[in-house]
A = this chain, B = another copy of it.
């Protein structure tokens, strides 16, 4: 497309020389770049709808097949990276400080915001559920991360029960399910819901209000009866 021995390329004709990088770094960079575009493509069109040539973009397919074994392998890599990132973010919330209800509220609000800010995760998970989690099951590294969130919640619940702010018998997995359901739906079903009921769910203001509301719901549910 463009000449490589440009001296005075007139217009925006970029010389397109590869910057000088080590193979290791260049490899990392190339892979991440592919994953970025692939994420976009899989998110937009699903696994069957995504096109390898589109993902290649300005480059050629050749490059993709150099780093990945095929479409499915690429899809799994995209999925694994997205999951890895949620897990990292979840661990970033400090549940030790403040009262137990306050800490829970912070976590819930973080969840709502994270989902809103990362629709790509939501859409990948939706897609994975349409495929009955068949690709997810092939990724080995994930279970450990899931256990971590539950453990965080278990400790928080214990603290809340001990100081009497939470009722007894709250199951951390069910708590997590309810928090996630409310956070997830807001993104996953935003298009049908917005169309059916004419409400905005994605503006900054709407997300902030939604975060408060979900926190209200969850806290009301776990609170000790007065």
Give the interface of A toward B (CB within 8 A). 45-49, 123, 125-130, 132-133, 136-137, 142-143, 146, 150, 173-174, 176-178, 180-182, 184-186, 188-197, 199, 213, 216-217, 220-221, 226
Contacts and interface: CB of A to CB of B under 8 A. Distances in A.
Query: In the complex this chain forms, how many copies of it are found?
Result: 2
B182 A132 contact: no
Given A123-B130, A132-B191, A176-B197, 5 more contacts: A45-B48, A127-B130, A133-B194, A133-B195, A136-B195
A129 B189 contact: yes
**SS class, residues of chain A in contact with chain B:** helix
Nearest to A143: B196
A181 B188 CA distance: 10
A178 B213 CA distance: 10
B192 A181 contact: no
B177 A193 contact: yes
A113 B162 CA distance: 35
A188 B150 contact: no
A136 B46 CA distance: 18
Nearest to A186: B181
B178 A217 contact: yes
A192 B136 contact: yes
Contact of A191 (B128, B182, B194): B128
Contacts of A180: 185, 189, 193
B129 A188 contact: yes
Contacts of A178: 182, 213, 217
List of 7 A-B pairs having minimum Cβ-Cβ separation, nearest first: A181-B185, A133-B191, A48-B49, A48-B48, A146-B196, A217-B221, A220-B220
A123 B192 CA distance: 13
A45 B130 CA distance: 7
Given A185-B181, A197-B146, A213-B174, A192 B128 contact: yes
A165 to B, nearest CB: 15
